[in-house]
Amino acid sequence: MFKKYFNEYFSDYLWKLRVAKAKELLRGTSKPMEEICIAVGYENVSSFRRKFKKELGITPSQYRNGTEPVTEKSRGESQ
């Protein structure tokens, strides 16, 4: 039902919200990853790190240190 109205799955929408908030907290605070994960609704830090890296092409720590995410377009061009 959600996909019908919003043209994306609820899980994808929820991930976008979580990663946006995590990115904000990573760059705007010095909170540890464990606290950030809990704040965005992830209990498993390892799982969050894996998904973050898979989706953005960089680790949360790299993002915090100023590295910009790898876009889907640039990933495709480098292959």
At 17 the three-state DSSP class reads helix
The radius of gyration of the chain from alpha carbons, rounded to an integer in Å, stands at: 14
Instruction: Return the structure tokens found at 5.
Output: 């109205």
Q: Who's near 39: CB < 8 A, 6+ residues apart? A: 21, 22, 25, 31
C-beta of residue 27 within 8 angstroms of C-beta of residue 61: no
User: Which of the four pLDDT bands, split at 50, 70 and 90, describes residue 61?
Assistant: very high
Question: Has residue 77 got a pLDDT over 80?
Answer: no
- Quick one: which of 26, 27, 44, 28 has its CA closest to 36? 26
**Is-above-0.75 flag for pTM?**
yes
